[in-house]
Structures are given as C-alpha cells and as structure tokens.
Structure 1
Amino acid sequence: MKFAIALFSPPHAPSSRRALRFAEAVLAGGHEIVRLFLYQDAVQHASAALVLPQDETDGARQWQTFISDNQLDAVVCIAAALRRGVLNDEEAARHDKPATVQSRAWTLSGLGQLHEANQLADRLICFGGP
C-alpha cells in the first residue's frame, strides 16, 4: 500500500512522534511512503536552527535521519515555512535574509505537492492540526 503522510504539528508535539512511529511501521511492513508533507507548525521540523534542552528528544533530527536513511520525498509548504522563518538558500536570497535554516532533508514547495501526493497514494494520513 502507498501512503502519503501530512504532518501539521511542531517537533515537540506528541503527534509528531506518533507520525514518525507510524512512518517507521509503514516501511517495516513493506509498504511505501510516496511523500511526507509538512504544513503549518510542522515546518519547524525543517529548521536547522532548532535547539532543544539536553533532556528532550530531538524529533526534528529523528525525522531528518529517517528521511535520509530511507531516501523519502519530504516536502515543506513554502508559504508556511516563510511565515516561520524556515528558508533555503534561494528563498533567503530572494527575500534578502542573512541566514538560511532549512535542513537538507527537506524540499520547499507548494500545496500542490500535497494534492499530488494524495493522488499518488492509496491513503493520506494526517497527524496534528487544528
């Protein structure tokens, strides 16, 4: 079965950890993840500037490792990312900002990528949100 996963919650939220465990189980079960899409506060997962207390689990780093290890298509909503200061090199230059903070595991793109993922997948599973 092919899954698309949409994540709406920030790295410290329990739903983010549940989404990661679900994604791990999907692949362990022999299924496919066609795309992981970050929207709203979930775009914080893509920030390379997050610093957590030493006694907290780094959910963003766990996602980044999972994506890299499994060569997943991972997309961050560009509008939500810009609103929250998560910029790749191109967007930082375009908006004349001094630093880039997007982790290399993610790609900035639009909501059309979520729509496409929904079309490619058998199931769209959403975690977090309003």
Structure 2
Amino acid sequence: MSSLLTYTLVVNGPVYGSQSARNAYLFAKALIEKGHQLKSVFFYQDGVTNGSRLTVPANDEFDLVAAWQTLSSEHNVSLETCVAAALRRGIIGEDEASQHKLSASNLAEGFSQSGLGSLAEALLSQDRVVQF
C-alpha cells in the first residue's frame, strides 16, 4: 500500500467567527504539500458559508473564500456545499435560485451544491475523511 492517501475534508465551521474553516484550509494545504491527494471538501452546517460570493473580509484579513477557490483550481479539488444546509442559510446556487424562483444567487465560483449522497460516496471511496 502506498503511503500517499486520498482525502475528503468535511467543514462544519463558518467562514469567519471560528477557527474551524481556517484550520481545515491549512490542513488541506499541508496534505497537498506532503503529496497526498485532496479529492473534495464538503461544507456542511454553518460551513456552507464558506461558499458565499458575498463575503467581503477587511483589507487586513485573510480571504478564506478566495483561498478555497485558488486551492480548488490549482489542485483540482471539488468544493461542495450541502444544498439543504446552504438553502437554510441563504447560500443559493443558480440552479436553486431558478428552481425556487429567487431573484439572485450567491454561490461563489468554483463551489457546487450537492446532497449528503456525495459525502456518503466520499466516506466509502477515500482513504481518509477528516472533519473540522
């Protein structure tokens, strides 16, 4: 067995207000630097706020949404928000906005919305799933 593993991260913490999401991001960077493969990050509960394109941090603060987007594009990491949790918290993708006849969407570029089935699949197919 190879010592390099595949990972999925589950992020329950909000984009700001706790260290959970930032710690998940730092862990993701460390995994990749060590040569492991990060397949996906599943944002659940308040973690779905990491997928809002309307987050505007202060000039001297770390832009976590942009950091996730860069990580995704540079390392082919899927960023998935739980659609049910996201809808409850006002994080709306274009498909959901259309389906629910809403005037706008705010899901950040590079993020997608999916169900818990996607997380269940990751639990079965990745070597490790780590929750933050």
Interval containing the TM-score (normalised by the shorter chain): over 0.9
Of 50-59 and 104-113, more deviation after overlay is shown by 50-59
- Following TM superposition, where does structure 1 have runs of at least 4 consecutive aligned residues deviating by more than 6 angstroms? none
Please give the alpha-carbon distance, in whole angstroms, between the structure 1 residues aligned to 2:20 and 2:94: 29
How many Å separate the matches in 2 of 1:41 and 1:60?
Answer: 14
Alpha carbons 1:11, 1:58 under 8 Å: kept: no
1:96 aligns with 2:93: no
Contact persistence 1:8–1:126 (CA under 8 A): yes
Distance in 1, Cα, partners of 2:58 & 2:30: 28
Amino acid at match of 2:35: G
Q: Name the structure, 1 or 2, with higher relative contact order (CA <8 Å, separation 6+).
A: 1
Query: Within 2, Cα distance between the matches of 1:21 and 1:84?
Result: 25
Equivalence for 1:39: 44
TM-score, scaled to structure 2: 0.91
CA displacement at 1:87 relative to structure 2: 1.1
Secondary structure at the counterpart of residue 3 of structure 1: strand
Give the conservation status (yes or no) of the 8 Å contact 2:10–2:41. Answer: yes
RMSD: 1.1
TM-superposed CA distance for 1:63, in Å, is: 1.1
Identity score, percent: 35
Question: Gaps (5+ residues) in structure 1?
Answer: none
- Deviation of 1:61 (Å): 1.6
TM-score, reference length from structure 1 = 0.92
Structure 2 residue runs of 5 or longer lacking an equivalent are none
Matched length: 127
